[in-house]
Structure 1
Amino acid sequence: MSYAILRMQKVKGNMTGIGKHLDRSYDGSDSIPENANIDNTKNNIHWDKNGTAYTQSEWTAYTKENTFTKRVNQEIKERYTQDKKIRKDAVKCIEYIMTSDHQKMVEIFSDQKTAQEWIKDNKVFLESIYGKENIVSIHLHLDEQTPHLHATVTPLTEDGRLSAKDYINGKKVLREQQTMYAEIMEKYGMERGEKGSTAKHTRPRAYRKQQIDRNR
């Protein structure tokens, strides 16, 4: 049985680096990481906040004027309604990685209908927690060894606050998200990892480094 892998990290401060990785672009040009297969980057798919899908070339052109940093800050500017100034160390967005082991993901993406259903179920999962309005962008990376989705969400509340704590406050909430995600992924032959496991959580950046090292 394969495991449903759900990883997240809070994003603060300078967002240029993470934007380059997610968008695979910067200032209208390609920005491809070392562990990616440049020949497959053209197969990546990106979705904007409205759910509109873009090819990689379309997204590269789009992000020249709509950088990751601009997209996140624009969401906050338009929907933050509090008088209190946002702190410099505030969590501006949360990044998720959604995937499974290599064999399982290759199996899913070997059938177009199954792959589309898997992508849809991941979107439903995010919307159930954050609402459609908080999803800034979603990225399907098919140029790395294992197909996976990235998603970024702004932790804006219905009353106009910027509060990551309202969505991911503590280990209990994160465990609940892991369980909920695994339940959605069951139909693809995935299961949840052991609850209370002593295995160390791999942050997204560390996960990406592992993929780079593995492919060297």
Structure 2
Amino acid sequence: MIVARMQKMKAPNLIGIGNHNRRRIENHSNKDIDLSRSHLKYDLVGRAYNYKTDIEKYINENKASPRAIRKDAVLVSEWIISSDTAFFKDLDEDQTASFFRSARAYFGQKYGDQNIRYAQVHMDENTPHMHLGIVPFTKDKRLSAKTVFDRQALQTIQEDFPKYLKEGGFDIERGQEHSNKKHLTVDEYKKLKDRTELKNLKEIEQELNGKNQVSQSELKKLKKEYGDLEQGYDGLVAKVISADKEFKVKESDLTRFGYRENHEIEKKPVLLKRGYSVVKTSDLEQLEKAASFSLLATKKYDKENTRKIVLERQLENEKALTKDLSERLKQTHKQLNSVQKKLDSFIEKFTDQWSFAKEYVKQAFGKNLDGVYAGFQEKQQEKQQKTSRKASRDDLSR
């Protein structure tokens, strides 16, 4: 089957990919590279010696807009063109070169031959492949990878590219049709390929299922922590409301400590005793009671005023805790969303890896795993439905 995978390259990416494609470094992270065979590489166009400098120059000289290129713009859409080892096994060196020339011609006809700035063929790895760099210019010379290689364009390439090669005499087929699955990266593909050569299908399935269970347990743990935070938040809100009500009650109690209206007290001076006066016994008793009440009211007022201050401070503390908890809730929501995305990505990758393993075993041993795969899909759908139902129940409970 044909391998045609695209990745977007921005200005900083061009330095690293240029060094890799042209084999300018000796210490490669890719251990499949046989440096003793690196001299067999060749470029079918040879228009970019220094990828970043030469490609930026080409864009600036040909773009329609006088404005500078955005720093985050996609400068090159790089296609990796290849097939499986069995396909190249039946081709000699000239036929292999003809295959890559045909692939370059297809993209040149569709997207402009001059826009292909490099077509580097590598023969020093397990499987021959070509890095094809296309500057995504529209017909009116706008730099727009989203426009040139939109979803429709990618689907058309997957349909037409293998037909074009087949018409050229190559026994090649397209990949799985109507697939929305994310492609594996080069490193992921090579790691999976190595694992399938060392492990049987059952071991791979057990390993991937184990990873899925870990992801599910992490999600369950985070959801429990989120529920505990929400419960604590509700408790704090209730305490704040209770403290506010209690404060208002005490405040109304303090207003009742007003002094009653005084009536006029009769008093007469005492002869020969300056500073003394004679008052009625009933008035004296009234004054004594008023003084006692006033002293008691003052003490109670001081006590309630102190309690009021304490309650105000407690209320401020509760508000601060509520604000802090609100921030923690937001962060937990983000964590939950992140875990859910990772889980979805893992399930998607797991399905892709299963497809690869199934094809590998079918080709290697001639076994038909359609029944096994169908059973796996049913189990996977059941897991996803259970997860969706649980998430719905959690949302309703909240």
> Which structure shows the bigger proportion of residues in helix conformation?
2
SS of 2:182's equivalent?
coil
1:129 paired residue number: 110
Matched residue, 1:189:
171
SS at match of 1:191: coil
Instruction: State the one-letter code of the partner of 1:71.
Output: D
Which residue of the partner structure matches residue 40 of structure 1?
37
8 Å contact kept, 2:122–2:129: yes
Amino acid at match of 1:130: Y
Q: Is the 8 A contact 1:140 1:148 kept in 2?
A: yes
Contact 1:21 1:31 in 2 (8 A): no
Aligned amino acid, residue 127 of structure 1:
G
Q: Does 1:77 align with 2:60?
A: yes
Answer with 1 or 2: which has the greater Rg.
2
1:158-196: CA deviations, max 9, x gaps? 4331111332012x2211111111112323211111211
Distance of 1:82 and 1:183 partners within structure 2? 36
Distance 1:40 1:212 in 2: 22
Q: Is the 8 A contact 1:106 1:146 kept in 2?
A: no
Residues 106 and 127 from structure 1, CA distance in 2 versus in 1: closer, same or farther, beyond 3 angstroms?
Answer: same
| CA-CA distance at 1:48 after TM superposition | 3.4
Contact 2:34 2:125 in 1 (8 A): yes
Matched, 1:96 2:79: yes
Decide whether the 8 Å contact of 2:44 with 2:101 is kept in 1: no
Whether the aligned pair in 1 keeps the contact of 2:137 and 2:148 (CA below 8 Å) is: no
- 1:85 CA drift (Å): 3.0
Which of residues 116, 138, 154 is equivalent to 1:157?
A: 138
TM-score if structure 1 supplies the norm length?
0.78
Tell me, in whole angstroms, the C-alpha distance in 2 between the residues paired with 1:49 and 1:159.
25
Matched with 1:53 is: none
Distance 1:177 1:107 in 2: 25
**1:214 Cα offset (Å):** 5.1
For the residues of structure 2 that align with 1:71 and 1:163, how far apart are their CA atoms? 19
TM-score of the two chains, using structure 2 as the length reference: 0.44
**What RMSD, in angstroms, separates the aligned Cα atoms of the two structures?**
2.3
Determine the C-alpha separation between the residues in 1 that align with 2:67 and 2:137: 14
Q: Which blocks of at least 5 consecutive residues in structure 1 are unaligned?
A: 51-62
Task: Tell me: CA distance 1:31–1:161, structure 2 relative to 1, closer, same or farther (3 Å).
Answer: farther
Amino acid at match of 1:92: L
Q: Deviations over 1:69-116 (max 9, x none)?
A: 1121111121113033322211111100111101112322xx234223
Question: Quick one: which amino acid aligns to residue 18 of structure 1?
Answer: I
